[in-house]
Chain A
Amino acid sequence: METLGSAQLAAEGCLSSAASPLPAAKLAPRHSGLVRITHWITTLCFFALLLTGIEILISHPRFYWGETGTVLTNPLFQLPIPSSRKLVPTAYGYVLPDQNGWSRALHFEAAWIAVLTGLLYVIFGLLTRHFRKDLLPGKNDFSWRALWTSFTKAFRFERPSAAEASSYNVLQRLTYLFVIFVLFPLVIWSGLAMSLTFASAFPWSVTLLGGRQSARTIHFFVSLALVLFLFVHVAMVCLAGFWSRTGAMITGRAATRKERT
C-alpha cells in the first residue's frame, strides 16, 4: 500500500513540487492545480446548467422522438410536473412563472465557460499525461477479478483503502473516463444540435441524432446520467471522508489515513 502511494506521489509530484514545502509536507500531493481549478469551475457551471436546464424544461415538460413535436402531437413521455406555459396540458391547475429569459442566457453562458474549461482540461491532460497516469486503468486492472473486487467493494460501501486516497481504483477510473469522454461530449453535441444556426452549418449534427426532438430527448437523458454521476460522486466522497477528499480537491494535498492516526 505504502509503495503505491509513494509511486503516485512521484508521478504527480512534478506539478506540485513548485509549491512551498511548508507545513503541508506531511500531506501527499493529490490533485494538480489545473485539475483543481477546472474541477471547481466545472462544478459551478454544472449547477448553473442544471438549475437553468430545469427551468427551461418546465416550459415544455414533454419529450418526443424524431424531428418535430408540439402539444398537438403525441409525446414519447411527459414529466408529471407543472409547466410555465398555459398551453401545455398538465395535471395541475396552475401555471408557473416564466423563467426562460435569464435561464437561457445563463445556460448558454455557463455552457461556454464549461466547454472552454473542459478544452483547457483535456489539452492539459494530454500534455501532462494526466489521463494516462491517473485515469487510464493499468493492464492488471482490466482482469475481471480486479473489476469485480472494485465493484463489490463499492456496492458494499466499504471505506476505500489508504492507497485509494492518493490514486483511483479501476471503477473510478472507468467512470471518470466515461463522464469526460462520453457523457460530456454527448451533452454538448445534443445541446448544439438544438441550435438552429449551428444545425444550418452542420446539418449532420442533428440528422445523426435522429432529429431535433431526438436531440432534445438525448440531451435530457444524458443530463440525468450526469446528475446520477454527481450523486454517486458526492456519496463516494462522503464515504471516503468528505473533508479530507474535498480538502484535497481544494488544497491539492491529501492526508493518508496512516498519517492521521
Chain B
Amino acid sequence: MIDLSRRKLIVSGLAATAGASGLVVAARLAQKYGLVPPDHGGIYGLGETLTYASQRLLTRHSLAREFPRNRISPRPFPNELAPLTEDFKRLQAGGFADWRLSVDGMVHQPGSFSIADLKSYPSRSHITELACEEGWSYIAEWTGVPLSHVLNLTGILPQARYVVYVSMEPDTWDSIDMSDALHPQTVLCYGMNGSDLPVAHGGPLRMRLPRQVGYKNIKFITRLTVADSLQGFGNGCGAAACEAGYAWYAGI
C-alpha cells in the first residue's frame, strides 16, 4: 500500500513537472509564432487563445468564401449608427474630398491619402458575406484597395506586428495582426455593389475583413498606426470593442 502510494506520488510528480514545463514551452512557442492574442488574460483568456492560435495554425492563408454575383443580397442591412459628428457632416457636405487616411507608426514613410488617391490604386473586389456576431448576415460586393498595398507604399518596419485602425466615430478603433493586415481580401473599402460605399455602411472608407465578424469591420476609417505591440493603445487589449467585453479576435 505504502509502495503503491509512493510510486503514485513519484509518477504524478513527474507528470506534473513534465506537464508544467510542457506548458511553459508551449507558451514560449505560441508567443514566438504569434499565436497569443492581446486579450489572453482574464477568465476568458484560455478560450480566446485557443481559438486564435488554432485558427492561425489552420487557416492563416485561407480565403473567405466568395459568391457569384446572383447571390448578392437585394437589401443589405445597415446596422445602427451612432449620430454623425459635426466634423463628419462637414466632410460629407464636401463630398468627402477632404477626407484623409493617415498612416503612421512603424512605417518608413508616414503618409496621408485622400479617397481619390486610394481609388487610383489597384483595386480588389470580392462578393463576400458580412456576418454580424448577433446572427444576421448578407452578401455584397465590396471594392477597395488592399490594405497590403497601402502598407507597401509607406513601407513597414520589420518589427511591425499589428495595424491599429481608428474611426472618425468617437471611441471607435480596433487592430489586426499582420497576418490579417496582409491578407489578400483585407481591403480599405470605398465601394459597395458597384457604387460608392454608402454612409450607412461606413462610407467613405471602411475596413473590410471578410474572415472576421461585423464588429471588426470598422466604419469611417481615418487613421492607421503600425505597431509592434498594443500596449499603449487604450488598455492594451487591442480594441475599443475589446474594452467593452468583446473578443479582440473575431474569426468565430
**B129/A212 in contact, CB under 8 A:** yes
Pick the residue among A68, A71, A104, A106 that contacts B129 (CB under 8 A).
A68
- Kindly supply a per-residue 1/0 record for chain B positions 117-157, scoring 1 wherever the CB is within 8 Å of any chain A CB and 0 otherwise: 00000000000010111111111000000000000000000
Report the interface size class on chain B. Answer: 35 or more
B51: which A residues are within 8 A, CB to CB? Answer: 108, 112
- Kindly supply a per-residue 1/0 record for chain A positions 204-225, scoring 1 wherever the CB is within 8 Å of any chain B CB and 0 otherwise: 0010000011001000000000
Grouping DSSP codes into helix (H, G, I), strand (E, B) and loop, the A interface class, with mixed when no group exceeds half, is: helix
Interface size of A in residues (CB-CB distance below 8 Å): 39
User: Which B residue sits closest to A75, measured CB to CB?
Assistant: B136
User: Which B residue sits closest to A18, measured CB to CB?
Assistant: B4
In the docked arrangement, what's the CA distance between A213 and B241, Å?
A: 25
B129: which A residues are within 8 A, CB to CB? Answer: 67-68, 196, 212
**A198/B134 in contact, CB under 8 A:** no
**A200/B211 in contact, CB under 8 A:** yes
User: Which A residue sits closest to B63, measured CB to CB?
Assistant: A200
> What's the least CB distance linking B221 to chain A, in Å?
20
In the docked arrangement, what's the CA distance between A216 and B129, Å?
A: 15
> What's the least CB distance linking B135 to chain A, in Å?
4
Answer yes or no: A226 CB below 8 A from chain B CBs: no
Interface positions, chain B 46-93, Cβ under 8 Å from A, are: 46-48, 50-51, 55, 58-59, 62-65, 67, 71, 73, 75-77, 79-80
Binds A, one of B20-28, B187-195, B243-251: B243-251
**A104/B246 in contact, CB under 8 A:** yes
A110: which B residues are within 8 A, CB to CB? Answer: 47
Pick the residue among B71, B245, B252 that contacts A101 (CB under 8 A).
B245
In the docked arrangement, what's the CA distance between A111 and B50, Å?
A: 11
In the docked arrangement, what's the CA distance between A111 and B54, Å?
A: 14
User: Which A residue sits closest to B59, measured CB to CB?
Assistant: A201
B58: which A residues are within 8 A, CB to CB? Answer: 201
B211: which A residues are within 8 A, CB to CB? Answer: 196-197, 200
**B213/A109 in contact, CB under 8 A:** no
In the docked arrangement, what's the CA distance between A109 and B50, Å?
A: 8
> What's the least CB distance linking B216 to chain A, in Å?
10
Answer yes or no: B212 CB below 8 A from chain A CBs: yes
> What's the least CB distance linking B38 to chain A, in Å?
14
In the docked arrangement, what's the CA distance between A236 and B63, Å?
A: 48
Pick the residue among A59, A70, A108 that contacts B252 (CB under 8 A).
A108
| With known contacts A104-B246, A212-B137, A200–B62 Cβ distance under 8 A | yes
User: Which A residue sits closest to B132, measured CB to CB?
Assistant: A60
B77: which A residues are within 8 A, CB to CB? Answer: 70-72
> What's the least CB distance linking B45 to chain A, in Å?
9
B134: which A residues are within 8 A, CB to CB? Answer: 56, 59-60, 85, 100
User: Which A residue sits closest to B39, measured CB to CB?
Assistant: A105
**B135/A59 in contact, CB under 8 A:** yes
Pick the residue among B55, B62, B133, B136 that contacts A100 (CB under 8 A).
B133
**A197/B212 in contact, CB under 8 A:** yes
Interface positions, chain A 49-99, Cβ under 8 Å from B, are: 56-57, 59-60, 62, 67-73, 85-87
**A198/B139 in contact, CB under 8 A:** no
| With known contacts A68-B73, A70-B77, A100–B246 Cβ distance under 8 A | yes
**B65/A200 in contact, CB under 8 A:** yes
**A101/B246 in contact, CB under 8 A:** yes
**A198/B79 in contact, CB under 8 A:** no
> What's the least CB distance linking B190 to chain A, in Å?
22
Pick the residue among B75, B135, B246 that contacts A73 (CB under 8 A).
B75
Answer yes or no: A102 CB below 8 A from chain B CBs: yes
Which of B46, B62, B71, B135 has the most chain A CB within a 10 Å cutoff? B135
The 7 A-B residue pairs whose C-beta atoms are closest, nearest first, are A109-B47, A101-B245, A197-B251, A70-B77, A105-B44, A60-B135, A201-B59
Question: B: which residues have CB within 8 A of A?
Answer: 44, 46-48, 50-51, 55, 58-59, 62-65, 67, 71, 73, 75-77, 79-80, 129, 131-139, 210-213, 241, 244-247, 251-252
Question: A: which residues have CB within 8 A of B?
Answer: 56-57, 59-60, 62, 67-73, 85-87, 100-102, 104-106, 108-112, 194-201, 203, 206, 212-213, 216
Can you list 25 A-B pairs with a CB-CB distance of less than 8 A? Answer: A56-B133, A67-B71, A68-B138, A70-B76, A70-B137, A70-B138, A87-B79, A100-B134, A101-B244, A101-B246, A104-B247, A105-B48, A108-B51, A109-B44, A109-B47, A112-B46, A112-B47, A196-B129, A197-B55, A198-B59, A198-B252, A199-B64, A200-B210, A201-B59, A212-B129
